[in-house]
């Protein structure tokens, strides 16, 4: 059995969404068990043969400062869920709670892997090839050195190899142009490190990529700092919402626009479904000595179930061991004199 610890209290909606998603997940995954972490009264109505409650008396609010979440809420559902992973009671933890608090608590309890200075947030974004591009970092690290970007590339390769069943996924470095001479000094240096890693057999680095390549599927993995990655993530979420609003407005106009909308509806619907960020919900916190997955705070039941599925896939395919193996293989380069 693959066991997941679920922070049922986190996010904008709490148990109303998380419990509905947990039931859907359990119904479709017969070899999974869930530890439902939260206030017992809020979870009392849920009953399933492969689920049990792990009590937690506190909840980390979406606007709680990291200091409060880390030092004053030591019995929060978020912390207790991650503790289950540390104790070996669960293979992965899933939460829709405060991102900063989740990263801080996970890093405090689980610690980082040897050779990794900063964990990164990684997820998949849809591309026009019908698949998805793994992008990291998505907001955990706003300012990154070249060495951090190298570490992200190594960890992202392990994640993509699990998600795509590809032992050598291609890696691109996000830049303002494909030429090696372009970009800031830090990005140029990151390119040099990534090329050295490719020469050593640690990565399948193909060179620089531009922002549109995230969506063209030119590479399997796009590496960037957290500022840029978070902007890209919010952009696609905004585009999907805008498309949905456009479709609703066109059907509310006059007869001519209604007819035009009816003709284009199948194509627009397919595009909307492909861009639906709910289908790609569930970001991995890579670089820790345990698996933790972050769901979007406003996720509905469908989206939160996707986060559970991603955590399940990662745990059942030994993602942590794969990350550790790739980091160990790249250890000589990660520990080189130029590394901070």
Structure confidence by residue, pLDDT tens digits, 113-142: 998 998 999 998 888 887 889 999 998 888
Residue 340's pLDDT band (boundaries 50, 70, 90)? very low
- Please determine, for residue 300, whether its predicted confidence score (pLDDT) is greater than 50: yes
pLDDT score of 286 = 95
Domains of the chain plus CATH, in order, are 1-110 (3.40.50.10950), 114-279+320-340 (3.40.718.10)
State the average pLDDT over residues 271-283.
69
Q: Is a pLDDT exceeding 50 seen at residue 339?
A: no
pLDDT exceeds 60 at position 274: no
Give pLDDT tens digits for 96-105.
999 999 999 9
Q: What is the pLDDT of residue 128?
A: 84
* Count of C-beta atoms within a 10 Å radius of residue 292: 30
Task: Please give the Cα distance from 196 to 52 (Å, whole number).
Answer: 48
- Cα angle 72, 78, 79 (rounded to 5 degrees) comes to 60
| Confidence at residue 80, expressed as pLDDT on a 0 to 100 scale | 98
255-275 vs 226-250: helix crossing angle, rounded to 10: 150
Mean pLDDT check: name the lowest of 18-32, 56-70, 258-272, 318-332.
258-272
Which pair of tokens denotes residue 135?
């992008």
Non-local CB neighbours of 317 within 8 Å, separated by 6+ positions: 162
**Residue range 142-149: mean pLDDT, rounded:** 92
Residue 38 has pLDDT above 60, yes or no: yes
In sequence order, the β-bridge partners of residue 137 are none
Q: What pLDDT is attached to residue 262?
A: 61
Which range is most confident: 42-51, 252-261, 330-339? Answer: 42-51
How many of the other CB atoms lie within 10 Å of CB of 119?
Answer: 26
Residues 101, 281: Cα–Cα separation, whole Å: 19
Residue 72 CA, distance from chain mean position: 27
Q: Which residues contact 39 (CB under 8 A, 6 or more apart)?
A: 9, 55, 56, 57, 59, 77
Could you tell me which residue, 264 or 76, shows the higher pLDDT?
Answer: 76
Q: Greater confidence, 9 or 268?
A: 9
Given a cut of 60, is residue 143 above it in pLDDT? Answer: yes
């Amino acid at each position: 059995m693959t066991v997941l610890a679920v922070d049922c209290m986190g996010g904008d909606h709490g148990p109303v969404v998380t419990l509905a998603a947990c039931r859907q997940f359990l119904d479709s995954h017969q070899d999974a068990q869930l530890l439902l972490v939260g206030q017992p009264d809020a979870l009392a109505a849920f009953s399933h043969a492969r689920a049990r409650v792990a009590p937690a008396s506190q909840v980390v609010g979406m606007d709680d400062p990291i200091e409060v979440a880390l030092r004053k809420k030591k019995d929060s559902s978020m912390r207790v869920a991650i503790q289950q992973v540390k104790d070996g009671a669960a293979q992965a933890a899933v939460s829709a709670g405060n991102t900063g608090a989740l990263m801080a608590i996970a890093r405090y309890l689980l610690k980082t892997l040897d050779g990794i200075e900063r964990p990164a947030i990684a997820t998949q974004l849809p591309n026009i090839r019908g698949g998805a591009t793994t992008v990291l970092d998505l907001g955990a690290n706003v300012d990154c050195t070249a060495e951090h970007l190298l570490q992200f590339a190594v960890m992202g390769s392990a994640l993509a190899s699990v998600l795509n069943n590809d032992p050598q996924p291609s890696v691109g470095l996000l830049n303002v142009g494909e030429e090696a001479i372009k970009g800031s000094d830090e990005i140029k240096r990151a390119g040099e490190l990534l090329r050295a890693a490719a020469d050593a057999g640690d990565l399948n680095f193909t060179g620089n990529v531009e922002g549109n390549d995230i969506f063209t599927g030119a590479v399997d993995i796009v590496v960037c700092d957290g500022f840029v990655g978070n902007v890209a993530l919010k952009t696609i979420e905004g585009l999907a919402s805008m498309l949905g609003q456009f479709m609703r407005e066109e059907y509310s106009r006059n007869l001519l626009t209604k007819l035009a909308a009816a003709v284009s509806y199948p194509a627009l619907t397919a595009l909307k479904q492909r861009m639906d960020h709910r289908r790609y919900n569930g970001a991995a916190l890579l670089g820790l000595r345990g698996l933790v997955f972050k769901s979007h705070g406003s996720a509905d039941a469908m989206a939160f179930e996707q986060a559970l599925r991603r955590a399940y896939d990662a745990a059942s395919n030994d993602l942590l061991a794969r990350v550790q193996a790739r980091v160990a293989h790249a250890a000589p380069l990660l520990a080189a004199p130029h590394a901070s």
